[in-house]
Structure 1
Amino acid sequence: MDLIIKNGTVVTASGIFAADIGVEQGKIKTIAEKIEGAAAKVVDAKGLYVLPGAVDVHTHLQMPFGGTVSADGYQSGTRAAVCGGVTTVFDYAIQRKGKGILETVKERQALAEGGACSDYAFHCAITNLGENAELLDEFPAAADYGVSSFKCFMVYRKEGMMIDDGQLMRILEKAKDVGILTNVHAENPDVIDARIAAFLKEGKTSAWYHYQSRPEFVEAEAVKRAIHWAVSANAPLYIVHLACKEGLEAVAEARSQGYPIFAETCPQYLEFTSDVYKREDGRNFVCSPPMKGPESQAALWKGIQLGVIDTVATDHCPFKQAEKDWGKDNFTKIPNGCAGIENLYPYMLSAANSGKISFSRAVELCAETPAALFGCTAKGSITVGKDADLVLYDPKKNFEISVKNMHSDYDNTIWEGKKLKGYPVQTYLRGTLVYDNGSYVGVPGSGRYIKRGASGRK
């Protein structure tokens, strides 16, 4: 065998047990109480947990937005990912006017090839179906290419990315027929625009009014509307970055009636509340949807514990401090987005280490369910035959997050000073060591494109 990881405690979504893991040609070959025999490399994981690599199904790498481009490209973003135990990253390819779905995806794929440090897949965001109805005809070809999830923005009209309800319904119906899972960013654009105009007229321009322009009810209405259309079309729906209590309750209600409605939340909504927008550096926390009040935060944790939340992903879209500062005196000029790709797994595992959830639940949220839901059949679990994407985690290691010890290209992080209990010490991508005790040790470009199967099935 090429690699044996011995004496570790293996964590899966279904349980925790002592075992050795044997790896051959990048795949998990054997899982046994004891593996005897020689291997090219033997790693002693005594005292460590052995976890499947996480799958971050929501990132925006090298994304043009708000007059600039997000700070992490494919190399730096995926480098940061593996240093946090994330071995597969899903990026959003934004289809624009005059572009087809596969054309859009392949352009992004070309950017990733040669530089990606983790494996990667794509969702495609459909933005101009109203002017380009033939996009619907591309759905089967996209699914065949391995892009089995499309995103619909229910906001960002001025940015040219929003789709209306009629277009959303057409996408849901067509996606259902070809095994594609429709993702939605759910907020009400008309209410947001009206509130922004009123605040600006009144001279209310601090970061606090970013939250006030899109509070809980603005998201909740759109979540309910999206669920209504999905139920009407009898189509699966995945709600990205869910942040509010009322929206979560709508998901739970639909699920209780047997509808395939799935929900993702993000670490920033679990850690921070809207009070961050009152801080002097509140502009750094501006993302959409914004962090909400403590009642929503508590509801999200409850949703995680009860299984209403299916996945935790990051919406990783960081910007440089100078760019965030554009909105120091006008919240509408702040590029929306925060860092998180390197913090996802350590944060959720620290929550497990502190007793808030189980380690198995953290693995389920960050690895097993996202892989299964989005058709990554070789990812997400420690199972014979799957890719040897493995993370060694030291539950006793104390770690304090700082921009100085992250591996991205951004120069600020909302996670500055956050203390974690436990931290990854090694990451293996298909059996190859890529992160070792604080350092990236892989080879940029070793990441591979993941061709996915049908999405929407847990």
Structure 2
Amino acid sequence: MDLLIKNGTIVTAKESYKADVAVNDGKIVAIGSNLDFDADKVVDAGGKLVLPGAIDVHTHLAMPFGGTVSADSYLAGTRAAACGGVTTVFDYPVQHSGETIMGLINSKKEVLEKEACVDYAFHCCITDLNGGEILDEMETAVKEGITSFKCFFVYKKEHMMVDDATFVRLLLRAKELGAKINLHAENPDLIDMRTEQFLKEGKTSAWYHYLSRPEFVEAEADKRAVHWATHLDAPLYIVHMADKEGLEECIKAKTEGHELYIETCPQYLEFTCDVYKREDGRNFVCSPPMKGKESQDALWTAIKSGMIDTVATDHCPFQSYEKDWGKDDFTKIPNGCAGIENLYPYMLDAANSGKISFERAVELCSTNPAKIFGCDNKGSIEIGKDADIVIYDKEKDFTISVNNMHSDCDHTIWEGKKLHGYPVQTYLRGSLVYDNGDFVGTPGNGKYVKRSTSK
């Protein structure tokens, strides 16, 4: 036996119970009381929680955007993930006109095979159908385990936006293949109109990033997407939900029995649009932006009621000097924030404070992502699953600072956030990759996760 974790409290999406966990060849092979195996390594988890590793299904690592590239390489981003208890990350490579899905994915795999510190999977962003070739190639991609594809309703000027007809074609093709379409929903024409107006009026601070794309601009796109998905009876996954009105439309569709999934992010649960009034407000610029308190309260209500399915990060950080490009013009601020290392600790802190249960935190950050996106060997402490395990100390106090994060970004929007309870160890398929503040894994040990479909 390679590893035996004794005396901990196992947390699943359904229950918590005291038991030992035995690991061999990267898999969980036994769970029970007082397991007595001759193991190479024995870990006493007495008084601590034993959790499945988190799955961050929304990251943008080494992503070209806004005239630069996001601050975290695949190595840095997956290293930070491991140190926050995230054992699988999903990246979002962006296909452009003339590019094939598999050509793009394989180019990313070449880098990840050398750099990945945790396991990895891909959604592929589709921006151009290449005369219909992409619709054909989606079948090949699905066979290779890429079973989800993303569309943008925004970024028209960046040539990333899809129109409604392209979106519908992709919805129908994904449905045919047992795959899913993920969507960034905001209205681009309203954003462009409002942005132009603010610039003419000399309103250029980060606050006007929020006002250029407030609640109703996101809500319209949410509603439009739900309209198409429900009438076509096609699965849809809405990424980074941030507004109350759109959330309510999605919840209505879910309660009517439609296959619709809702993701939100920690930044929307922690911060409101007031951050854009701060001196460092540009550091918080992401799209969609943080919204008002009413939307934040609605998100937490949906978290507690089970209507939100996943929490992921949209991790896409940029360095301070790059954020400073927009100090006097919000349109020049690269959009995105760091969060990959903060996802699990933040949601587990919410559980530790009684806001949600630990089971719900595991469901949102691990079990549901695995189920929705076909990570059959992930998402639970269960015999036969990968031994992606986090040991969590409920009594450990931790204050987030750029100085104790493992990203390459030179700042964090989470600076000074105090957490009660923190991960003390992370195991990737039974191998220790994070230990009490230190990354102890090996770049390149992360493996590609080939995912199943719903068919």
Once residues 300 and 451 of structure 2 are traced to their aligned partners in structure 1, the CA distance between those partners, rounded to angstroms, is 30
Once residues 251 and 287 of structure 2 are traced to their aligned partners in structure 1, the CA distance between those partners, rounded to angstroms, is 22
Aligned 8 A contact 2:4 2:37 in 1: no
Which residue identity is paired with 2:444? G
Structure 1 partner of 2:11:
11
Structure 2 partner of 1:21:
21
- Count of aligned residue pairs for this structure pair: 455
SS at match of 1:150: strand
Structure 2 partner of 1:439:
438
Deviations 1:329-365 (A, max 9, x none): 0000000000000000000000000000000000000
Once residues 110 and 193 of structure 1 are traced to their aligned partners in structure 2, the CA distance between those partners, rounded to angstroms, is 37
Which residue identity is paired with 2:92? Y
Check if 1:426 corresponds to 2:413. no
Once residues 133 and 302 of structure 1 are traced to their aligned partners in structure 2, the CA distance between those partners, rounded to angstroms, is 42
Cα offset for 1:112? Answer: 1.0
Which residue identity is paired with 2:232? A
Structure 1 partner of 2:450:
451
Aligned 8 A contact 2:60 2:315 in 1: yes
Cα offset for 1:38? Answer: 1.1
Cα offset for 1:209? Answer: 0.2
Check if 1:238 corresponds to 2:237. yes
1:229-308 equivalence runs, <5 A: 229-308=228-307
SS at match of 2:171: helix
SS at match of 1:263: strand
SS at match of 2:433: strand
RMSD: 0.7
1:149-228 equivalence runs, <5 A: 149-228=148-227
Once residues 106 and 117 of structure 2 are traced to their aligned partners in structure 1, the CA distance between those partners, rounded to angstroms, is 18
Unaligned runs of 5+ in 1: none
Which residue identity is paired with 1:249? E
SS at match of 2:157: coil
Once residues 441 and 146 of structure 1 are traced to their aligned partners in structure 2, the CA distance between those partners, rounded to angstroms, is 29
Cα offset for 1:132? Answer: 3.0
Once residues 194 and 266 of structure 1 are traced to their aligned partners in structure 2, the CA distance between those partners, rounded to angstroms, is 27
Which residue identity is paired with 2:235? P
Once residues 62 and 161 of structure 2 are traced to their aligned partners in structure 1, the CA distance between those partners, rounded to angstroms, is 20
TM-score, reference length from structure 1 = 0.99
Cα offset for 1:183? Answer: 0.2
Cα offset for 1:34? Answer: 1.5
Query: Among the aligned pairs, what percent are the same residue?
Result: 67
Cα offset for 1:128? Answer: 1.2
Structure 2 partner of 1:354:
353
Once residues 235 and 108 of structure 2 are traced to their aligned partners in structure 1, the CA distance between those partners, rounded to angstroms, is 26
Deviations 1:198-241 (A, max 9, x none): 00000000000000000000000000000111112110000000
1:50-61 equivalence runs, <5 A: 50-61=50-61
SS at match of 2:137: helix
SS at match of 1:114: helix
SS at match of 1:170: helix
Cα offset for 1:37? Answer: 2.7
Once residues 363 and 247 of structure 1 are traced to their aligned partners in structure 2, the CA distance between those partners, rounded to angstroms, is 25
Cα offset for 1:327? Answer: 0.1
Aligned 8 A contact 2:208 2:330 in 1: yes
Deviations 1:55-111 (A, max 9, x none): 000000000000000000100000000100000000001001110111111111112
1:294-443 equivalence runs, <5 A: 294-443=293-442
Deviations 1:8-40 (A, max 9, x none): 000000000000000010000000012013111
Deviations 1:351-407 (A, max 9, x none): 000000000000000000001100000001001000000000000000000000000
Structure 1 partner of 2:88:
88
Aligned 8 A contact 2:209 2:330 in 1: yes
1:31-70 equivalence runs, <5 A: 31-70=31-70
Cα offset for 1:113? Answer: 1.2
Structure 2 partner of 1:138:
137
Unaligned runs of 5+ in 2: none
Once residues 108 and 123 of structure 1 are traced to their aligned partners in structure 2, the CA distance between those partners, rounded to angstroms, is 12
Once residues 112 and 159 of structure 2 are traced to their aligned partners in structure 1, the CA distance between those partners, rounded to angstroms, is 25
SS at match of 1:107: helix
Aligned 8 A contact 2:124 2:149 in 1: yes
Once residues 151 and 8 of structure 2 are traced to their aligned partners in structure 1, the CA distance between those partners, rounded to angstroms, is 42
Once residues 336 and 96 of structure 1 are traced to their aligned partners in structure 2, the CA distance between those partners, rounded to angstroms, is 19
Once residues 179 and 73 of structure 2 are traced to their aligned partners in structure 1, the CA distance between those partners, rounded to angstroms, is 27
